[in-house]
Amino acid sequence: MNTDLTNTTSSRINSALVQARRAAGSPAVGMVLTLVIVTDEANHYDALKAAGDASREHPARILVVIKRSGRSPRDRGTARLDAEVRVGGDSGSGETVLLRLHGELADHADSVVLPLLLPDAPVVVWWPVDAPADPAQDPLGALAQRRITDSYAVEQPLRELAVRATSYAPGDTDLAWTRLTPWRSMLAAALDQARTAITSAVVESEADNPSAELLAGWFADRLKVPVEQVVTNGPVVTAVRLHTADGEIHIDRPDGPLASLAIPGQPTRTLALKVRTTAELIAEELRRLDPDEAYAAALRARATSPAPEIRAKVTPPAEIRKNQEHEHV
């Protein structure tokens, strides 16, 4: 059930939510958290779709804050709140409210959102694209236990990552870090099996990839070894190599959903290591609401460590021909 409200208030939106629930035959609230998405018209559809898919695992009230100040003479006029309430259907067991804030109201989004938060439930705020320099000090971010940004989604990812390191507060996280969870799990398992000291590490990825930077920071923090970064054609992180006295532990994922894992003295194995969707990343972040200390340590290590040596990976001619043939299959 969808309800459009023009020039409305938070009180009227709450009343519309109750009425929609009753009309759908499920007046009881079974949601576990409030997810606030702060975005714009251009990006709200993709963000809402990802959040809706994630809410099938974590039933939530999703509040999409779309700030419209300054976009047109109409938007720059009198402060106004337009809303669309969605209950049932694509919203699943949760609720979705699109909030379009016009005029000066766009600068006071927290006053609109606060009355719409689920009582006694955690709050997560997600900026899919343009996040504030200090999410914890942002009026909306201050309402949340967890604050999610995405350094990969901006024009200058490494500069964005440096800003995150400067402003980090417990509860902050970044989807560039979340993308590394399968890599970190696989590497931790490999190190448990190898049981040998690591002397250095190499991270291969596309250029200016924030996930690669955080992975290098994780190695610097946990292994206390020098880390080299190698630029490849991607996508994202393509390989990790850990040098030991017994040989090289390496994971290669040049493309596709599969990776090869090699550990000295053991046969090479093929494992699943796909590039995950935004919905899967958000669902993972909603599983935990405590501060991510590993992310904080990796971010801090990357910011304080000397700049790593970065070189381009030269692809042999035979491999280039093979890739070209593969592209035409």
Which pLDDT band holds residue 321 (cuts at 50, 70, 90)? very low
Q: Tell me which of 187-201, 203-217, 301-315 is least confident.
A: 301-315
∠ CA 122-151-183, nearest 5°, is 85
Backbone dihedral region for residue 66 (phi beyond 0: left; psi -120 to 50: alpha; all else: beta): beta
The string of pLDDT tens digits covering residues 129-179 is 999 999 999 999 999 999 999 999 999 999 999 999 999 999 999 999 999
Q: Domain ranges in the chain?
A: 2-149, 181-282+291-321
∠ CA 232-237-189, nearest 5°, is 135
Dihedral sign (CA 239, 245, 246, 247): positive
Q: Sort 249 into a burial class: Cβ within 10 Å, 0-12 / 13-18 / 19+.
A: buried
- What DSSP string describes 175-231? HHHHTTHHHHHHHHHHHHHH---EEEEEEEESTT-HHHHHHHHHHHHHT---EEEEE
The string of pLDDT tens digits covering residues 79-93 is 899 999 998 766 556
Of the candidates 298, 306, 307, the residue with the CA atom closest to the CA atom of residue 165: 298
Using CA atoms of 48, 54, 58, 59 in order, give the dihedral in degrees to the nearest 10: 40
pLDDT at 137: 97
User: Mean pLDDT of all residues in the chain?
Assistant: 88
pTM of the model: 0.88
Q: Which residue has the tokens 């190599």?
A: 241
- Give the whole-angstrom CA distance, residue 141 versus residue 131: 10
Question: Residue 191 above 50 pLDDT?
Answer: yes
